[in-house]
Chain A
Amino acid sequence: MANSDAFIDIRAVSKRFGSVTAVDGVDLAIRQGEFFSLLGASGCGKTTLLRMIAGFEMPTEGDILIDGQVMTDVPANRRPTNMVFQNYAIFPHLTVRDNIAYGLRKDGLPRADLDRKVDAALEMIKLSGYGARRSTELSGGQRQRVALARALIKRPKVLLLDEPLGALDKKLRETMQLELRQIQDEIGITFVFVTHDQEEALTMSCRVAVMAQGRVMQVATPRELYETPNSRAVASFIGTMNFFEATTKGIEGERLLLDAQGLGGIAAPVPGWQVNGKAVVAIRPEKLQLSLDRPQGEVSAAQGTILNSTYLGDRSHFHVRLDGVEAPIAVSAQNVERSMRDDLDDGTPVWLSWRDTAMVVLPG
């Protein structure tokens, strides 16, 4: 793979533990200064891949290059990477200050320089005045910041983050997401971020690699991932998606003609892959409209019945049964009108409608 702009170049990397293949032939090109996320369910190999970049695991096959240098024979302590661990790994016998200064001590820095750097780091993580505290006296969010400062003070070329926000509560997590993003913007270090939380990956990243069973399924920007997933697996992992089994009927100009279960004959944008008979049509819940009467105009429509509905304030969720489709169809509607009336009771016959551009055609 010739990636001129690859700062971290992962070339055909595999990792096997005995008979288990944790990472299976992964190729990735991560750009300089990018906030790159590895997203996947637990056991998909994302953490193993991160640990191989850090040097804690050696690839069974393939090479990892950082800034043009092959890292394979470079031990973890000599790599230009630093890591924020999932449990933060704060040294319990050291103070906050000594934790942050840990990586600088051996560099033979003059005392004053070291103090200045640590003070600046404490200020960056808004913990000035906490320097003399024992790390055991810190809260989860504070520990997370200390771990971040300790890793960043070494000015690594790459910062690796292993689910660093997983242990925090929702509110704190959102604050830290924002802070992480800000810090990354300010210092411009390449971040590689491992998470199983798709929302987190979409909010924070420049690009995301979705992983499953040790392989990379898709590498794309958050918007591309959500709007144009390349497979059923990615589409169902990111957000909610309705799937309709379909057979292709032919191409008419810019449009692909399909016969989809529950939707009937439809025309969708031609996908980028080679169409050969079987396909899956996918539509996001918020791209479906509900109405009591058959909608007019340039839209496709199908008739079904409401199975159940959930009122969530700003929007409502519905499940709709369509003839010929086994799974209930998820529909999300913004509650634009202030209305006390609920005219979409369970069992009500309704029309589902959507624009042709709402559909994504995936390999069957």
Chain B
Amino acid sequence: MTDHANTVSPAAGSFGRLRLAVTRSEALRGLTLMSPTLFVVVAAMAVPLMLMVAYSFWSQSYVTLDTSFTLKNYTDVVTRDIYHILFLRSVTISGIVTLVTVLLAYPMAYFVAFDVKKNKLLWLILLTLPFWTSYLLRVFSWKVILGYNGVINSGLMSMGVIAEPLQFLLYNPFSVIVTLAHAWAAFAILPIYVSLEKIDRTLLEAATDLGDGPVRRFFRITLPLSMPGVIAASLLIFIPTVGDYVTPSLVGGTGGVMIANIIQAQFSRANNWPLGSALAISTMLAVTAIACLSIWLAKRGTAAIR
């Protein structure tokens, strides 16, 4: 290689040789391109994650950190009901949020993909418009809408539909679901839109030609072929929302507390980083397992459609 490099550019110095080596070797070139991102990922994700794993096997007694190995945190996580309840509630809320968001996003994505003929980009930008404001603002705006003196209550009262403000709108799982479903809508619309847009329109004509009406055609062709988008959308919503703690702490009240709120508490007020780490890692593993299971089920279900 060096000999060859010399014959190619005899005048080139060591820098020239290096450059030649980089352009010649596929792997080296790839590594060079990746290195900035790789650095960030290693420094900002892998290292903290390893630290968390380490912490989860340590223990905290008041202000001192005991770095001897223990499984006490994990036994706590597994045996204490409060964590089970919170975890199940988080998964249930996120599951409902995922379902609601995907069900609402699908028709919107379908409309843009199939019925909008021109200015598709404009429509997509309009659909992502809520994302132009900050996440916190969006959560607060739902507080304004759902609150005791909020838009819905004052509106209904001024119309004389209700005599006093409805109490069930805010500070419960319902308000968490509404807020999250709205906040994550674009994450569902875009992947579903992409997978719908990719469907070859003659496949739909072929299905019609073979005797399918619009409904049968949708369930036999359109839905299975857009399944990758639906799965992507579901993961994009489910995984982050399980771990969300901003929304539940702002609009969830006591009934809407989720697992992430308790993890956050361990890292702050309770000052028990080892337990917090063990909770975080257990949650992560459980969510991964649930996600994999759902993907597998979704694929099995799609494959059964004929």
Q: Are B306 and A85 in contact (CB under 8 A)?
A: no
- The answer to whether A85 touches B202, judged by C-beta atoms less than 8 angstroms apart, is yes
Residues in B neighbouring A87, C-beta threshold 8 A: 200, 202
Residues of A within 8 A of B210 (CB): 77, 82, 102-103, 150-151, 154
Q: Does A83 contact B (CB under 8 A)?
A: yes
Residues of B within 8 A of A101 (CB): 306
- A183 interface hit (Cβ, 8 Å): no
**In angstroms, how far is the closest chain A Cβ from the Cβ of B287?**
28
Q: Which partner residue on chain A sits nearest B204 by CB separation?
A: A89
Besides A77-B208, A87-B200, A150-B210, 17 other A-B contacts (C-beta < 8 A): A56-B208, A76-B205, A77-B209, A78-B211, A82-B209, A85-B205, A87-B202, A89-B206, A93-B225, A93-B302, A102-B210, A103-B210, A103-B211, A106-B211, A106-B216, A151-B209, A154-B211
B173 touches A (CB below 8 Å): no
**In chain B, what residue has the closest Cβ to A86?**
B202
Q: Number of A residues whose C-beta is below 8 Å from B?
A: 27
Decide if A105 is an interface residue (CB 8 Å cutoff): yes
Cβ contact within 8 Å between A54 and B212:
no
Tell me if B205 and A77 are in contact (CB < 8 A). Answer: no
What does the 1/0 interface line of A259-288 toward B look like (CB < 8 Å)?
000000000000000000000000000000
Q: Determine which residue in B209, B220, B224, B305 has the highest number of CB atoms from chain A within 10 A of its CB, and name it.
A: B209
**Smallest CB–CB gap between A95 and chain B, Å?**
9
Name A80-122 residues within 8 Å CB distance of B.
Answer: 81-83, 85-87, 89, 91-94, 98, 101-103, 105-107
In this assembly, does B239 line the interface, its C-beta being within 8 Å of a C-beta of chain A? no
Shortest CB-to-CB span from B143 to chain A, Å, is 44
Mark B residues whose CB is within 8 Å of A: 200, 202-203, 205-213, 216, 220-221, 224-225, 302, 305-306
Picked from B200, B213, B224, B302, the residue with its CB within 8 Å of the CB of A89 is B200
Q: Is B213 a contact of A77 with CB atoms below 8 Å?
A: yes
Alpha-carbon distance between A151 and B225 when the two chains are bound, in angstroms: 21
Which residues of chain A have a CB within 8 Å of any CB of chain B?
54, 56, 75-78, 81-83, 85-87, 89, 91-94, 98, 101-103, 105-107, 150-151, 154
CA of A81 to CA of B206, assembled, Å: 11
A76–B225 alpha-carbon span in the complex (Å): 22
Give the residue name and chain of the A residue nearest to B302 (CB): A93
